[in-house]
């Protein structure tokens, strides 16, 4: 699961959606998006759809923030 999470994050970084990733002491992953928005997620998803949801949420949040800035 961790390998899959890293692959998704690397893909989002290549697309320019993620600027920075920070691991918190509470076992969460905090992503700073290119749009300036923050996204916090568990490091290990508890659901088999968690990885897809993470990717979709980041894309959606990035899209909404860019539209709101215009």
pLDDT in tens, 1-34: 578 888 888 888 888 888 888 888 888 889 888 8
Q: Counting beta carbons within 10 angstroms of the beta carbon of residue 42, is it exposed (0 to 12), middle (13 to 18) or buried (19 or more)?
A: middle
pLDDT > 70 in the chain, percent: 90
49 vs 65, higher pLDDT = 49
Q: Are strands 38-42 and 18-23 parallel, antiparallel or unpaired?
A: unpaired
pTM: 0.72
pLDDT at 66 (0 to 100): 59
């Amino acid at each position: 699961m961790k390998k899959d999470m890293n692959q998704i994050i690397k893909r989002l970084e290549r697309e320019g959606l993620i600027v920075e990733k920070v691991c918190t002491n509470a076992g969460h992953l905090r992503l700073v998006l290119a749009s300036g928005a923050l996204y916090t997620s568990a490091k290990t998803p508890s659901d088999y759809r968690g990885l897809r949801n993470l990717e979709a949420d980041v894309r959606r949040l990035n899209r909404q923030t860019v539209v709101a800035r215009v």
